Structure 1
């Protein structure tokens, strides 16, 4: 395919840049700095997506992905993973882009890549969905996390203000018992964006959901507050204190974010502020908790393994007096 055709393909397949605007989305605008941060995250995601769609192969896109500022590079790889999944679903593609991404620099961004697959699933007809049975049994729940984020971000009235839950999720029925919870974790991440990184607005959004859903939502909020940033120490302390009985899940999400950034070598100042305030730890310490408690290969067979991992992380943070 010629460069001109690849450029045309990118223009056709890439979502409009305006879709990342808080004004267009109708999201809360806390202040100009928070707005610019959240919109830059969206633009970085689309840049990663576009680089994959317009490149001849994954290797050709990697130098441009690696050139994206480190604060936003993980989001670019998330978008790149969505692009790989979309491209792999097209007739005649060979279905090798996603595996190529994870075999290269994308390996450091595995968590974000799995989330990106969920974005693709939200956009593709179900007949073109990737086969989740071929993904990591432990991390595949992050695909539904990404799916939930997409639905809350683009269909906010239904999934956030209307607290909608789908009857049938794009997921194998024999693994469906945990699926809604994984989706809620992604919706929780999206609430950080919908609320414009305004802690009071985010707390109000979470509080509108049924109590049974709030633990997973707070987990997503903690992850987004730590990975994306946008709130200062005083705001994060208010978030921690206001989480109440769901504070362990909030901390678990924060630790997950620290692990994702540490693994990719992308830890930035706001990551440190967030883990110090929320978890009482340096980012590398919070990441170590996640790695130390990660289930072994023999345990990684179903939803409980992933949920057990999350519970162990939360329990460790609480038992050490961090909560």
Structure 2
């Protein structure tokens, strides 16, 4: 494919940057700093998407992705995961996600899997069989990405209307009951954006959901608050206080965020603040909690290994005595 055709493909496939503006989305604006941060996150995601759909190979995209500022580079890799996922679903698309994960994308594997979920949200369901998410442990991150997308772009329905999918058809091998749990984790992540990083507003939105859904929503919010940033230390303490009985889920989400940033070499000062507040520890120690509790073999039974992993991490919050206020 010539460079002209690749450039045309980029223009045709890449969403308009205006879609990332808080005013366009109708999201809460806490202050100018948080608005700028969240909009930069969205722009970085679209930058990564564009790099992927225009590149001749994943390696070519990686060279450009590595130039994205450290704080936002993970979001660019997430966008690239979406871009390569969409290309894989197109005729003669190949296995670009697989090639991406065989290179530098592996350092950002969590974000790439989430990006695959974004691709699913933009593609008809009959193409989902072409999605590359082979790891039985991490495949649920694709549904996290799908849930984020739906809450971000269909906010009235998924956030304010507390909509929940019925009989979600992916992954085909199930277990089917867990799909909505994974989707809610992504919806909770998106609510950090919908609420403009305002912990009081985010918590109030979560509390409007049925009680059985709140644990996963708080886990997602904790991950976003730790990874995306946008709040001062005192505000993070307020979110922790709001979480109440779901503090262990907030802890779990923050642990996942620390592991994702540390694995990719993207730890920023806010990462230290968030893990100190939510986990009572450093990003390095939080990441170790994630790795030490990761299942090293398939889990038998109806509970996915991914959920076993999350529960083990949440249990560490209890065994460590929780986070003091």
TM-score by length of 2: 0.96
The 3-state SS of whatever aligns with 2:304 is helix
For 2:161, the equivalent position in structure 1 comes to 162
Aligned residues between the structures:
322
Compute the displacement of 1:298 (Å): 3.5
Compute the displacement of 1:62 (Å): 0.9
Compute the displacement of 1:303 (Å): 4.2
Q: Distance in 2 between matches of 1:67 and 1:133?
A: 26
> Pairwise mapping of residues 1-323 of structure 1 onto structure 2 (< 5 A)?
1-93=1-93, 95-131=94-130, 135-171=134-170, 172=172, 174-299=174-299, 303-323=303-323
Q: 1:125 to 1:70 in 2, by over 3 A?
A: same
The 3-state SS of whatever aligns with 2:165 is coil
Q: 1:17 to 1:133 in 2, by over 3 A?
A: closer
Q: Distance in 2 between matches of 1:300 and 1:34?
A: 43
Q: Distance in 2 between matches of 1:121 and 1:262?
A: 27
Q: Distance in 1 between matches of 2:302 and 2:104?
A: 28
Task: Answer whether contact 2:89 2:130 (CA < 8 A) is retained.
Answer: no
The 3-state SS of whatever aligns with 1:8 is helix
State the Cα deviation string for residues 261-292 of structure 1 (Å, max 9, x = none): 01111010111100001110100100100000
Task: Answer whether contact 1:251 1:317 (CA < 8 A) is retained.
Answer: yes
Uncovered stretches (5+) of structure 2, i.e. residues with no partner? none
State the Cα deviation string for residues 84-123 of structure 1 (Å, max 9, x = none): 0100111022x21101110111000000011000000000
Task: Answer whether contact 1:226 1:274 (CA < 8 A) is retained.
Answer: yes
Task: Answer whether contact 1:192 1:225 (CA < 8 A) is retained.
Answer: yes
Q: 1:132 to 1:11 in 2, by over 3 A?
A: closer
Compute the displacement of 1:322 (Å): 3.1
Q: Distance in 1 between matches of 2:134 and 2:249?
A: 25
Q: Distance in 2 between matches of 1:10 and 1:130?
A: 24
State the Cα deviation string for residues 17-63 of structure 1 (Å, max 9, x = none): 00000000000000000000000000000000000101111111111
Q: 1:245 to 1:127 in 2, by over 3 A?
A: same
Q: Distance in 2 between matches of 1:244 and 1:39?
A: 30
Q: Distance in 2 between matches of 1:146 and 1:204?
A: 23
Q: 1:134 to 1:25 in 2, by over 3 A?
A: closer
RMSD of aligned alpha carbons: 1.4
State the Cα deviation string for residues 116-161 of structure 1 (Å, max 9, x = none): 0000000001111145686100000101000000000000000000
Task: Answer whether contact 2:88 2:131 (CA < 8 A) is retained.
Answer: no
TM-score by length of 1: 0.97
Compute the displacement of 1:173 (Å): 6.0
Q: Distance in 1 between matches of 2:295 and 2:15?
A: 37
The 3-state SS of whatever aligns with 2:281 is coil
State the Cα deviation string for residues 66-92 of structure 1 (Å, max 9, x = none): 010110000000000000010011102
The 3-state SS of whatever aligns with 2:86 is helix
State the Cα deviation string for residues 161-193 of structure 1 (Å, max 9, x = none): 000012232412642111100000000000000
Uncovered stretches (5+) of structure 1, i.e. residues with no partner? none
